Amino acid sequence: MPDTDTTPPAPVVAFDETGLPGECLPQYDLIRRWLDETPRDFIELKRREAELLFRRIGITFAVYSEGGNPERLIPFDIIPRVLDPAEWTMMSRGLTQRVKALNAFMRDIYHEREILHAGKIPAELVLHNDGFRPEMQGFDVPHDTYAHISGIDMVRVGPKEFFVLEDNCRTPSGVSYMLENREAMMRLFPDLYSRHRIAPVSHYPEELRDTLRSVAPPNCEGEPTIVLLTPGANNSAYYEHSFLADEMGIELVEGVDLVIDENIVYMRTTEGLRRVDVIYRRLDDDYLDPLTFLPDSLLGTPGLFNAYRSGNVTLANAVGTGIADDKAIYPFVPAMIKFYLGEEPILSNVPTYRCSEKDDLAYVLEHLDALVVKETRGSGGYGMLVGPHATNAERQMFAAKLKAKPYDYIAQPTLALSTCPTFVENGIAPRHVDLRPFVLSGKEIRIVPGGLTRVALRGGSLVVNSSQGGGTKDTWVLESVGDAEPHRR
């Protein structure tokens, strides 16, 4: 198992971010008073109002595995999560450091491969990985930036103990919920909102557009034309695609809307073809270009990859960023930080067992009742086992999977994720949460304060994914602790 910085504690009772029971932490003092003073029937009324608001706006996601109508309204909890300025300062420094190292890693493995030659990461783990794209070898991307948009999932287990759970560097989603959650809280509870000094998030689309503008190809003259490439209306995150395109003031396109001529990308418009310089793609590598990747893909554009390799268009995120998403690569990120930056990691990894290693596999098989087992290429909460909450039959089934394909799995201790007060059917109760901040990388690194807080609405559940019954909360990063004047979004 690779070196990890810190072994996380495993408290019997999860840390509650309000500080209760006991002395309420300062950042939650106004929230506590508000909850004490506000009748529960009023909160229930506002919860229903929030649901109607989200339904009217059309904030949905799709769960195709359930059959019937796949569209679901993502549950929104109206009690915000609050972070104080010091907590966010530490997190933002750690996120910046981590994303710098991940981009340096991707630049390295597609060029000199120094980290592999130094033996810091097993070469076969990278070069034989499905996320590694040999087509990217030797290709220089603007500002050596591969993951322009990163969603770093974080969990908390104590007052000052934060851990990175996983890195999302391909096509991270969820930022539209972060923005809509803030709008909903401002509309539903303006008085509560105005009593805090909360760092704004509404400028995220502007920051995203500026980031994309900064990575336009060197041969781009004047203002770059940026588009958002979507798989189409049947994609689970289509609402977010259309939302972000609208907020940035750019065109939302599908593969058939693009034309390649002499390795230059054009967009079909009512006024004829218009050259495209930057594509924010929400389409996985395999489907981008049937001439280079999956030949039967109908979602991409023939010739797009050659136009990209010719330096005539920028793809964000870059092709091949899936290697940094892989959970088998995750244990080595602390080593990347030390290797590329010469720094100690600010944010710790969760200790991770690589089931491809004989000793690690033996340990995992003996302790399935205490571990969380994940597919290395899994996402959305699918393909995982939460050992303490699984039945004997489920654990036996997973043991067979591990023995058959150990390279496909990693395992981690079951952390007691922190809890936040959440409004549920029986009133207000603690529920486990995580946090996905969004890091923008281009000519510079930008992070909008906060991120998407996901909450496990089922009592005792540690799975926060919306596809598994989780919901979301507005995340407040305070600019100062205490009462304040009204302020920005």
> Chain centroid to CA 382: how far?
15
What is the residue type of 60?
T
What is the residue type of 142?
P
Three-state DSSP at 38 gives coil
pLDDT digits (tens, 9 = 90+) for 408-420: 999 999 888 999 9
**Residue 384's pLDDT is what?**
84
C-beta atoms surrounding 278 within 10 Å:
27
* No. of helices (H) and no. of strands (E), the chain: 14, 24
**Residue 60's pLDDT is what?**
61
- Closest Cα partner for 415 from 2, 95, 1, 15? 15
**Residue 136's pLDDT is what?**
98
Q: Residue with structure tokens 């303006």?
A: 190
pLDDT digits (tens, 9 = 90+) for 451-469: 999 999 888 888 887 766 7
Q: What percent of the chain shows pLDDT beyond 70?
A: 91
47-64 in b/e form (b: 16+ CB < 10 A) is beebeebbeeeebbbbbe
**Residue 144's pLDDT is what?**
96
State phi, psi for 213 to the nearest 5 degrees. Answer: -60, -35
pLDDT digits (tens, 9 = 90+) for 420-440: 999 988 889 999 999 999 999
**Residue 340's pLDDT is what?**
98
The answer to whether 472 and 455 are in contact (CB under 8 A) is yes
* Domain boundaries of the chain, sorted by first residue: 218-312, 354-414
Indicate the Cα dihedral angle 464, 467, 470, 473, nearest 10°: 90
**Residue 62's pLDDT is what?**
54
**Residue 10's pLDDT is what?**
44
Q: Say whether pLDDT at 357 is over 60.
A: yes
Average pLDDT, the chain: 91
The answer to whether 31 and 80 are in contact (CB under 8 A) is yes
d(CA 205, CA 244): 7
Architecture per CATH, domain 354-414, reads as 2-Layer Sandwich (3.30)
Total-model pTM: 0.92
d(CA 238, CA 25): 39
Q: Topology of 218-312 in CATH?
A: Rossmann fold (3.40.50)
d(CA 61, CA 470): 12
Q: Say whether pLDDT at 11 is over 50.
A: no
218-312 shares its CATH topology with 354-414: no
pLDDT digits (tens, 9 = 90+) for 360-386: 999 999 999 999 999 987 665 567 898
